[in-house]
Amino acid sequence: MLSRLASLRVWLLAAMLATAVLTLVAGNVITSQLSAASEEAADRAKAQAAARAIASQVQGGADADDLRALQQVLPSDQIIVTRNGTTVFAGPALTAEPLELTVTVPLPGGHVELRDHHAAPSGGLAQGTLIAAVIALMVIAEAWVAATVLVRTVRRPVGRAIEAAGRLAGGDFSARMGTSGPEEFARLGQAVDAMAAQLQHADTEQKRFLADLVHEIATPVSAITGFAVALTDGSIQTPAERAEAADIVLHETGRLQRLLDDVRQLNRLELTDSVRREHVDISARCEQTAQRFRLAARDAGVTITVRAARAGLDADPRLIDAVVDNFVSNAIRYTPAGGKVEIRAARRRRPPAVVIAVRDTGTGIAPEHLERIFDRLYRTDDARDRASGGSGLGLAIARSAAQSLGARIEVNSQPGTGSEFRLILPAGAPAPAMTSQPGSA
């Protein structure tokens, strides 16, 4: 494209040259015609004045000698006097130059005829040609300057865009185009820079996620490897020590399996899973969720209850379960013994939506953590989350599932008093998957 822009000046110059040539030719033709018409009018007026003067002298009694004297005064004109049908005087015929015009003036009993053989001067045509040439040169110069300014104005931002795109394609997400230049290119620069910033953020998050994932996998693998070596080399000898080692290996293996299962589920939600909509009875779904977690709640000393109004909508039940299950699992995990977890569901009129809320009386979340709890492997308290068995991917899975449903997640939480997570499902026509960010109400 830049080569085409560079050749734009040549094409414009060629077009201007052609236009100038046509203008010059047309100017010459027009100038020539105007000059000829002007000369002819002037010559005709002079010839008529001379013919009338000759006729006046003939009427006053001028003889042949007087007419010969007048003929000498007008060497480029031929004087012919006719009276009573007879030519009484005829000057010498001029054949060296073509006849330009003939003027006839009547007199009593005849007429005076003046034949003008004077050639038209060429000064007017030359002057018109010069003026047309100057105008053509000015047009060419202006066109060249305009083309140069246009090409430079366009080429610089296009060059920056190509450079930025090349660096982005090569993996350098710090590349930026900038917003200088005409308005359209400034808007293009803003769009390119915004895209580059998103790519850079996504790349940073991906690298951080991979580093955190490696760390999460390394911890249980190190424990399993250490106890396996101890069992193999005989460092652990007593039955009690071997039983303890086996329990730790089993616990760490389960933790590793849960982490891998969560990674697979998150990957499936973000890359491959399609939304399969069907009619879902929300109240029945909430009861089933509570039933699945009653045993875990009882072991944690937590009471789980359901308060769901009758509501239904078209959605994917698997994705709803992925969101609500994570809400309930986290609520049980972070609610101390004697606490309560409540699942509620209701229909909202304006805008039409079905709201599924999970409220607990647990430890709550500090305000500075609310915007990041949906990030992959983010923990508000690293040691506590590991002790509770969480992988750190539950809320990231919930966010991806909500996005696939075209829904959004809202959070209310106060440290020491508990949290409430809400899934807002649009209850109108099925909405396409869209990006939504968790927000604190």
Same domain for 294 and 248: no
Q: Report pLDDT for 127.
A: 60
Same domain for 412 and 317: yes
**Higher pLDDT pick, 202 / 407:** 407
Same domain for 293 and 396: yes
Reported as a single tens digit per residue, the pLDDT across 104-139 is 888 887 887 877 776 545 455 566 567 767 777 777
Output the domain CATH number for residue 235: 1.10.287.130
Same domain for 431 and 382: yes
**Higher pLDDT pick, 290 / 379:** 290
Same domain for 109 and 66: yes
**Higher pLDDT pick, 365 / 78:** 365
Residue 21: pLDDT band by 50, 70, 90 thresholds? low
Nearest residue to 182 via CA among 162, 153, 155, 159: 153
Reported as a single tens digit per residue, the pLDDT across 49-73 is 877 877 787 777 777 777 777 777 7
Q: Does 413 have pLDDT greater than 80?
A: yes
Same domain for 105 and 9: yes
- Would 132 be classed as within a structural domain? no
d(CA 276, CA 319): 9
- Would 151 be classed as within a structural domain? no
Same domain for 297 and 267: no
User: Encoding tokens for residue 251?
Assistant: 């616990």
What does DSSP assign to residue 142? Answer: H
Q: Where a domain ends, among 272, 298, 313? A: 272
418-426 and 408-414 beta bridge pairing: antiparallel
Q: Report pLDDT for 441.
A: 30
Same domain for 303 and 259: no
Domain count, the chain: 3
d(CA 126, CA 43): 20
Query: For the chain, what percentages of helix, strand and coil (3-state, to nearest 5) are there?
Result: 60, 15, 25
The percentage of residues in the chain with a pLDDT greater than 90, rounded to a whole number, is: 13
Same domain for 244 and 229: yes
Measured CA to CA in angstroms, residue 152 lies from 9, 178, 186, 187, 413 at distances of 10, 16, 15, 18, 57
Same domain for 264 and 316: no
Residues 297 and 360 sit within 8 Å (Cβ to Cβ):
no
How many other C-beta atoms can be found within 10 angstroms of the C-beta atom of residue 377? Answer: 21
**Higher pLDDT pick, 270 / 433:** 270
**Higher pLDDT pick, 355 / 312:** 355
Same domain for 411 and 327: yes
Measured CA to CA in angstroms, residue 164 lies from 149, 173, 242 at distances of 23, 9, 60
In which region does residue 74 sit, left (phi positive, over 0), alpha (psi from -120 to 50) or beta (all else)?
Answer: beta
Reported as a single tens digit per residue, the pLDDT across 315-371 is 888 888 888 988 998 899 899 999 999 999 998 888 889 999 999 999 888 888 887
Residues 441 and 410 sit within 8 Å (Cβ to Cβ):
yes
Query: What is the domain extent for residue 194?
Result: 173-272
d(CA 56, CA 40): 24
- Would 148 be classed as within a structural domain? no
Q: Where a domain ends, among 272, 292, 326? A: 272
The pLDDT mean for the chain works out to 76
Residues 396 and 331 sit within 8 Å (Cβ to Cβ):
no
Same domain for 343 and 421: yes
Name, of 141-155, 177-191, 286-300, the range with top average pLDDT. Answer: 286-300
* Collapsed DSSP state (helix, strand, coil) of residue 411: strand
In which region does residue 85 sit, left (phi positive, over 0), alpha (psi from -120 to 50) or beta (all else)?
Answer: left
110-116 and 77-83 beta bridge pairing: antiparallel
Output the domain CATH number for residue 308: 3.30.565.10
Long-range contacts of 95-98 (CB under 8 A, 24+ apart): none
Q: Report pLDDT for 429.
A: 40
- Would 137 be classed as within a structural domain? no
- Would 143 be classed as within a structural domain? no
User: Encoding tokens for residue 223?
Assistant: 């424990």
- pTM metric for this prediction: 0.49
**Higher pLDDT pick, 253 / 67:** 253
Q: Report pLDDT for 382.
A: 43
